[in-house]
């Protein structure tokens, strides 16, 4: 091969290598980097947090206490005889209303009735003896001791009659108060004694609402205080009034037992049900109160994030009473401040925020 051709090929190869080196090491535009640079403002926007806010306004704040309780009857008793004997009659129908003094059941009193008949048969003769002895005494025909003797015999006979009548009354079971009588526990022919329960008698008009409050509220619960309560399965709230409190704090639970009265005129509620009770305490005018979700507990302190110049800034606050949805702020916030109510766990000092909704 001609030397000139060889040198020409070598020259071409050398030129190619030089061109490749220049292409490799000369700086060129980075399209990906340029794209990132163009997106920088968007990234900064994404670092902002969308939140809801609320402007603090003064309003009436009612301190409410929520506790659980139960409905108990106004009066309730297990009915039983005061004497022993065979039940001969039952006069009530289970689950019906009975009046005070109504005869409900009776045990055998035949022997007592026979004693009563015998004693009452002696009364005319005993009274006649007293009458005749008194007439003789007026004429000094008998001694005063003889007159006093027959008079004492008459008084003893009367006492025996009253004693037998009292024993007969013990064989009768009567309603001690108006109420609804429950299920019968005995039958005619059964042997009754003071330990045998015949039925339960309950007065459900009115009803009592029994509950306990923490000891710190003990001084605030007064006779006449109004409350409302709800029971499961009922949408309506019922109104009751406190009529009595226990005389001391329960040392085991550190609570005060309280009872309220509910008329229950229609008998729509039955005793034994659980009740969710709401007690209204003090009313605070022009209070600063914020939603409880705006409070951020941190290291034993409470803080709230406020909106200032587009940034979230934490403020230490001192809280007062709590209601079902709000917390009273005693120190740290002022009327007109804008507090952040959502995203509180994600917020950091100075973080940019975008307000989606302001109440």
Please give the average per-residue pLDDT across 258-282, as a whole number.
Answer: 90
- Give residue-wise pLDDT tens across range 190-224: 999 999 999 999 999 999 999 999 988 888 888 98
**HSE-up of 205 (CA within 13 Å, CB side)?**
11
Q: What is the pLDDT of residue 155?
A: 93
pLDDT tier at 234, thresholds 50, 70, 90: confident
- Give residue-wise pLDDT tens across range 215-224: 888 888 889 8
Q: How far apart are CA 198 and CA 184, in angstroms?
A: 6
Please give the average per-residue pLDDT across 302-329, as a whole number.
Answer: 88
Please give the average per-residue pLDDT across 169-178, as a whole number.
Answer: 95
Residue 261: is it exposed, middle or buried by C-beta count within 10 angstroms (0-12/13-18/19+)? middle
Q: What percent of the chain has pLDDT over 90?
A: 54
Residue 5 has pLDDT above 70, yes or no: no
- Give residue-wise pLDDT tens across range 72-103: 999 999 999 999 999 999 999 999 999 999 99
Domains present along the chain, CATH in parentheses: 50-63+286-358 (2.40.420.20), 66-74+204-281 (2.40.30.170), 75-192 (2.40.50.100)
Q: What percent of the chain has pLDDT over 70?
A: 87
Residue 328 three-state SS: strand
Please give the average per-residue pLDDT across 38-66, as a whole number.
Answer: 73
CB 231 within 8 A of CB 269: yes
Residue 159 has pLDDT above 90, yes or no: yes
Q: What is the pLDDT of residue 10?
A: 61
CB 339 within 8 A of CB 357: no
Q: Residues 6 or more apart from 89 whose CB is under 8 A from it? A: 105, 106, 188
Please give the average per-residue pLDDT across 19-35, as a whole number.
Answer: 51
């Amino acid at each position: 091969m001609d030397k000139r051709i060889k040198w020409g090929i070598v020259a071409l190869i050398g030129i190619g290598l030089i061109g490749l080196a220049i292409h490799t090491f000369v700086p060129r535009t980075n399209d990906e980097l340029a794209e990132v640079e163009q997106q920088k403002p968007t990234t900064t926007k994404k670092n902002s947090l969308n939140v809801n806010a609320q402007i603090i306004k003064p309003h009436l704040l009612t301190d409410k206490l929520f506790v659980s309780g139960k409905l108990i009857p106004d009066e309730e008793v297990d009915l039983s005889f005061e004497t022993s004997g065979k039940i001969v009659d039952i006069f009530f129908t289970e689950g019906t209303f009975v009046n005070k003094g109504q005869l409900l059941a009776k045990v055998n009193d035949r022997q007592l009735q026979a004693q009563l008949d015998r004693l009452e048969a002696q009364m005319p003769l005993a009274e006649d003896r007293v009458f005749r002895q008194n007439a003789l005494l007026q004429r000094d025909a008998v001694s005063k001791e003889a007159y006093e003797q027959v008079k004492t015999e008459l008084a003893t006979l009367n006492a025996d009659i009253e004693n037998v009548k009292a024993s007969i009354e013990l064989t009768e079971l009567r309603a001690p108060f108006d109420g609804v009588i429950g299920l019968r526990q005995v039958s005619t022919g059964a042997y009754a004694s003071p330990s045998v329960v015949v039925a339960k008698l309950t007065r459900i008009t009115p009803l009592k609402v029994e509950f306990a409050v923490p000891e710190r509220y003990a001084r605030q619960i007064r006779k006449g205080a109004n409350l409302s309560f709800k029971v499961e399965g009922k949408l309506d709230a019922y109104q009751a009034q406190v009529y009595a409190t226990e005389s001391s704090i329960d040392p085991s639970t550190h609570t005060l037992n309280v009872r309220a009265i509910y008329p229950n005129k229609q008998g729509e509620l039955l005793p034994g049900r659980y009740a969710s009770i709401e007690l209204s305490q003090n009313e605070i005018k022009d209070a600063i109160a914020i939603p409880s979700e705006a409070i951020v507990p941190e290291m034993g302190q409470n803080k709230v994030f406020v909106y200032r110049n587009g940034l979230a800034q934490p403020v230490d606050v001192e809280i007062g009473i709590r209601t079902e949805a709000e917390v009273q702020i005693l120190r740290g916030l002022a009327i007109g401040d804008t507090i952040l109510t959502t995203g509180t766990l994600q917020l950091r000092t100075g973080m940019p925020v975008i307000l989606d909704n302001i109440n």
